[in-house]
Structure 1
Amino acid sequence: MVKLSVNINKIATLRNARGGNIPNLLQVAKDIQIFGGQGITVHPRPDERHITYKDVYDLSKVVKKEFNIEGYPNERFMKLVLDIKPDQVTLVPDSDHAITSNRGWDTILHQNLLTDKVNQLKRKGIRSSIFLDPIPEMVPYVKKIGADGIELYTGYYSFGFMKKKFDCIHSYINTAKIANSNKLFVNAGHDLNLENLSFLIENIPFLMEISIGHALISESLYLGLENTIQSYLKRIKKIYK
């Protein structure tokens, strides 16, 4: 069964917007694991606009399930992951100023760079994943690079899902099948939500892990908003009894 890793970047964004420590990022990470989440994902960026590098070190002490750290493998990022030695590192080709991840690696063009970074991770016993567009031709180079698996960038899938879900899934199926036949694990992430998730899993049954953050946190506002408002009203009414 596919595992759910919860990306908590948006929790840090909310905390940073106000300053202080509400919501408490470490407590949220602990609770996600208690609530059944099978992993925690973070993606620290150079400007630390959400998850900070200090957060990642602190989280490494409280994440007892799978810890997945995503990011562009510059010198600072590599030092971070080699220090912490998480369960998994997902290499993502983000520029310094990217708002969010918006593409996968060209594994042909960047084969040497990625091979060097994956070898560094291997020496520390860290599982490696390459963030990849649904382009089957890129998969054999992931194998040559020596990575353990891929994470399919599902932004294109999510964008096309509402209009032509049967058309937008084919490239993902083909890419995943080639990865699976090359003994590479297959993860997926980006813009997945409660509406489009099932169709993806049904069509790629050997997915190992999905990483969801923005939608999950946004949906939890609605799924929990009524209960929270009622809790406040009950607290207020109690005073006047």
Structure 2
Amino acid sequence: MTKLSVNINKIATLRNSRGGNTPNVVQFAKDVQKFGAEGVTIHPRPDERHIRYQDAYDLKSEVYTEYNIEGNPIDKFVNMVLELKPTQVTLVPDALDAITSNAGWDTIKHKHFLIDVIKEFKDHGIRTSIFVDPDLKQIEGAKATGTDRIELYTEAFAHAYGLGNKSAIKPYTACAELANSLKIGINAGHDLSLENIKYFKEHIPNLLEVSIGHALISESLYLGVENVIQMYLQKLK
């Protein structure tokens, strides 16, 4: 069964819109785990417009499933991850002003940078994953960095699937098959939803984990958080 990690950035966005501590990010993380989620994902950005760096510290003692921290490995981020030692760190090449993640790493161009950063995290016992586009050359490049896993950037699939183009899964399947042959673990995320998650899962061999935030929180407004988490878990079986 593919693990479901819930990205709770949107809860922090809602909290920050009014100040104070409602909704409570730590309590929400505790609740989604109680409801069956197998991991909690956060993605702090330098401007702290949603998850704050302090949230990462506050969550450390409350995430008893898998704790996944995503972000661009600038010095502040690297230092925080090394101090907290989460289950997994996912490296994302975000521009400082990016609204959301919008591209994977060029694993060939940034090979030596990624090798150094990944080695540092792995030396501290932290599993590493890098965000990549569904491109075979980038998967081959990922192998050379020493990363434990890749996270397939799924926006293109989700957009095409929503338009009825199911063939958009093909490059993802090919990349997954290559990653499996290279013994790289496979995660996925970005715009996966209740509508498309089952089809995606069925066509990605050995999909280990999906990280879902925006869609899951949006769907929960209508269906309830506990119910939505159970719906995802059923589709991921």
TM-score by length of 1: 0.92
Report the secondary structure of 1:49's partner residue. coil
- In the alignment, the residues of structure 2 paired with residue 100 and residue 79 of structure 1 have an alpha-carbon distance, to the nearest angstrom, of 22
Report the secondary structure of 2:49's partner residue. coil
Q: Matched residue pairs, number? A: 225
- In the alignment, the residues of structure 1 paired with residue 175 and residue 164 of structure 2 have an alpha-carbon distance, to the nearest angstrom, of 19
Is the 8 Å Cα contact of residues 176 and 205 (structure 2) preserved in structure 1?
no
Structure 1 residue 224, shift from structure 2 partner: 3.1
Cα distance per residue 1:132-183 (max 9 Å; x no partner): 0000111122111100010000011111112243321110001111011111
Report the secondary structure of 1:5's partner residue. strand
Alignment match, 1:125: 125
- Whichever of the two has the greater Rg, that structure is 1
Matched, 1:70 2:70: yes
- In the alignment, the residues of structure 2 paired with residue 90 and residue 57 of structure 1 have an alpha-carbon distance, to the nearest angstrom, of 17
Query: Which letter does structure 1 place at the counterpart of 2:31?
Result: D
Report the secondary structure of 2:56's partner residue. helix
Alignment of 1:1-241 (within 5 A): 1-224=1-224
Query: Which letter does structure 2 place at the counterpart of 1:49?
Result: R
Structure 1 residue 204, shift from structure 2 partner: 0.9
Query: Which letter does structure 2 place at the counterpart of 1:149?
Result: R
Alignment match, 1:232: none
Report the secondary structure of 1:208's partner residue. strand
Report the secondary structure of 2:163's partner residue. helix
Structure 1 residue 220, shift from structure 2 partner: 0.2
Alignment match, 1:234: none
- In the alignment, the residues of structure 2 paired with residue 138 and residue 16 of structure 1 have an alpha-carbon distance, to the nearest angstrom, of 36
Query: Which letter does structure 1 place at the counterpart of 2:113?
Result: L
Query: Which letter does structure 2 place at the counterpart of 1:90?
Result: T
TM-score by length of 2: 0.93
Report the secondary structure of 1:18's partner residue. coil
Query: Which letter does structure 2 place at the counterpart of 1:156?
Result: A
Cα distance per residue 1:14-46 (max 9 Å; x no partner): 000011111111111001100000000000000
Structure 1 residue 61, shift from structure 2 partner: 1.2
- In the alignment, the residues of structure 2 paired with residue 81 and residue 191 of structure 1 have an alpha-carbon distance, to the nearest angstrom, of 25
- In the alignment, the residues of structure 2 paired with residue 94 and residue 159 of structure 1 have an alpha-carbon distance, to the nearest angstrom, of 20
Structure 1 residue 48, shift from structure 2 partner: 0.0
Gaps of 5+ in 1: 226-241
After alignment, is 163-172 or 185-194 more displaced?
163-172
The percent identity for this pair of structures is 57
